Amino acid sequence: MYPTAVHEAYRAELAAIREKGIFKEERYLHSPQAADIKVEYPCGAPLKEVINLCSNNYLGLSSHPAVVAAAHEALDARGYGMSSVRFICGTQDLHKQLERKLTEFLGTEDTILFPSCMDANGGVFEAVLNDQDVMIADRLVHASIVDGMRLCKAMQDTFKHADMKHLEQKLQEHQDKRVRLIITDGVFSMDGDLAPLDQMCALAEKYNALVFVDDSHSTGFMGKTGRGTHEHCGVFGKIDIITTTLGKALGGASGGCVSGRKEIVELCRQRARPYLFSNAVPPPIAGAALKVLEILNETTERRDKLEANTKFWRQALPEAGFVIKDGDSPIVPIMLFNAKLSQDVSRDLYQEGIYAVGFFFPVVAAGQARIRTQMSADHNIPMLTRAVEALKKVGAKHGILGLDKKGIIEKFGQ
């Protein structure tokens, strides 16, 4: 019988989500992922060409002709799918090549591919830690790390975001454990700030701990040659476990990996459940990812352009009268503090041809609502100049230009 009381209860839950204003609506792209896209929003509305400020396509490689061609080539040479997990009959030469190239790029000893970074984080902790160990995580780590930790029997603890004093205290507290694993994101996706990896590595040495970094928002462009946060922070080659995604800067399709000490990677091959029980990365993705790494090894042109765009953007926004979060990464949050204001500004920006999404509680802390903007190597200065003009127009409409945090909160509430 349908609907039953259960379905009614689900409907009520959905209605409550809508009522709270946190129902997630999807926008339909009618074009490839790029700096300028054609969007249908809301569903059924006429298509609109907008400047995209909210993808993770940091290097502009998602639709790059050479990457697309490499995917075609692998598709022709090695087929569409593997119809197997890696350890039964799902490992191709392409997978092994890609693991080797990622190892070289990240400066580690070995690498194991996963269907996604979510899966890498879901499998790695359980594979290498047991109930004699402790995981000490930054309080703002990505949801997939939180889930991975939940699947693991090691004790869980946290330290205040990027607070090295607090981390040190925790390391002292847990000296009786077999393994102390410090866990952090490299670049934090909501604030765009970086983990102080140099200090973390120093603490790890002092207290005999291991360091885990999820560098999904960093691999390919942070650091002089784009290796990641570890290169940026001067600790290249010193991180015990790096997880990262192929789904952002590295072509943006899907796939992730755990990279690090060879014993750790080997244990993941033996025990990590998303590796053992989920399908191998499809050949076109492996082939395209190899091409991406080839491009990045040949030239730093794209990460250099991304850096220049980021510099322009981080200077232009405060000059235009907005409050941003300082930092070095291409993630640049425009702080609005008030949830409704963030939604209103996002909607008005869309009308002006700018696609940027507003985030508010529970995605970010209460009272910390914002528009998150992200730079790409695919943007250019004329495009970004147009975006700043649109932001100024919308900012003026809401009377927020030149207001600091206090001013905005006085006017709109938190």
Q: Which residues sit at the interface with ligand PLP, rule CB under 6 A?
A: 116-118, 121, 142, 144, 185, 189, 214, 216-217, 245, 247, 256
DSSP bridge partners of 332:
373
Antiparallel, parallel or unpaired: β 48-52 and 36-40: antiparallel
Q: Which of 278, 338 has the CB closer to ligand PLP?
A: 278
- The residue to which tokens 């909160």 are assigned: 409
Q: Does a cis peptide bond (omega within 30 degrees of 0) precede residue 362?
A: yes
Q: Which of 338, 374 has the CB closer to ligand PLP?
A: 374
Query: Biggest alpha carbon distance in the chain?
Result: 63
CA angle 186, 62, 41 (to 5 degrees): 100
Q: Tell me how far apart the alpha carbons of residues 284 and 81 are, in angstroms, rounded to a whole number.
A: 8
Catalytic residue among 55, 62, 144, 189: 189
Q: Which of 58, 412 has the CB closer to ligand PLP?
A: 58
Q: Which of 60, 251 has the CB closer to ligand PLP?
A: 251
Q: Any residues with CB less than 8 A from the CB of 339 and at least 6 apart, and which? A: 21, 358, 360, 361, 369
Smallest gap from Cβ 258 to ligand PLP, in A, equals 12
Catalytic residue among 101, 170, 232, 248: 248
Whether 248 is catalytic is yes
Within 10 angstroms of residue 351's Cβ, the number of other Cβ atoms is: 12
Smallest gap from Cβ 401 to ligand PLP, in A, equals 31
Smallest gap from Cβ 38 to ligand PLP, in A, equals 23
Q: Which of 55, 189 has the CB closer to ligand PLP?
A: 189
Both tokens of 158, joined, read 């946290």
CA distances (Å), origin 238, targets 22, 205, 207: 41, 10, 15
Smallest gap from Cβ 141 to ligand PLP, in A, equals 7
Smallest gap from Cβ 47 to ligand PLP, in A, equals 27
Catalytic residue among 174, 177, 217, 392: 217
Q: Tell me how far apart the alpha carbons of residues 173 and 165 are, in angstroms, rounded to a whole number.
A: 13
Positions marked active-site: 189, 217, 248
